[in-house]
Amino acid sequence: MKNATLLVQRLLMNAHVIMESFTLQWWTCIGAVAAVIGLLLYLPFQFDWAKGSNYPKIIATVLMINLLIENAYALNLGKWSMQNNLPLHMCGLAGLMCMSLLFRFNYLLAHFAFYWGTTGGIHSLLTPEFDLGMQGIFFYSYFISHGGLIFTSLFILIHKDFRPDKHSWLSIFLLTQLAALTVGLFNWVSGANYMYLIKPPIAENPLIMGPWPWYILIFEVLAVLHFWGLYKLSRLFK
């Protein structure tokens, strides 16, 4: 059983591919994502059809279709697995919340989407790690899904007048521990590595330091700082 679990973990890590930051390919992808986000945020200021409740629902539908196509593509390639394709990374969980939030705004859900989505989206775009590989649709799906996290966070700030509650950064951090514990138990049972609780990411991120479990403790400190910093920035947002 132990050997089988180790084999699964090696196969999962072998599927991971990174994109080197600040290369021409990286700048092209980041520029395209930023341009699309900027355009989608700008449209409600100019067109009446983008000011209504259907506009965010359309974007949520696109994000949902992207997720379904990604999973269907993995199934077609024979690469779908419970250990690697469930939306149990922080970005995956935030993505589900963002889609739900765009369909129907919820104040509590907005806090999770804001803190998790912004933190996960920024780091995933700055130091891309494709946990399903870069083959075909996986490449485009990665940027669509993570760009959707950033878009949703900015959309609720700009067009929904959302501002996180005082001390919400700490509340979300504490609830993140419960989510991590739940996902960690699933990892232990299934041999998965969601939220990178078993092995660190291979992304070239200077904030990833040390072997297990030390890098997780560093993640915890960084999460507190990120959430606190996002809260402070949100108070300055006009």
The DSSP H or E segment spanning 148 is helix 137-158
Spatial contact of 178 and 83, defined as CB atoms under 8 Å apart: no
Length of the chain: 238
Residue with tokens 């963002």: 98
Quick check: 90 and 140 in contact, CB under 8 A?
A: no
Domain with 225, as residue range(s), is 2-236
Per-residue model confidence (pLDDT) at position 236: 83
Q: What is the pLDDT of residues 23-63, one digit of tens each?
A: 999 999 999 999 999 999 999 999 999 998 999 999 999 99
> What's the count of helices (H) and strands (E) in the chain, helices before strands?
9, 2
Confidence of residue 85 (pLDDT cuts 50, 70, 90): very high
Give the DSSP H/E element, type plus range, for residue 18: strand 17-18
Q: Which of the residue ranges 39-53, 96-110, 224-238 would you say has the lowest mean pLDDT?
A: 224-238
The model's pTM is 0.90
What are 61-76's pLDDT values in tens digits? 999 999 999 999 999 9
Helix (H, G, I), strand (E, B) or coil at 187: helix
Percent of the chain with pLDDT over 90: 82
- Both tokens of 108, joined, read 């509590």
Count up the domains in the chain and report the number: 1
pLDDT tens, position by position, 151-163: 999 999 999 999 9
Q: Give the integer Cα–Cα distance in Å for 192 and 120.
A: 19
Burial (CB count <10 Å: 0-12, 13-18, 19+), residue 117: buried
Three-class DSSP category at 83 = coil
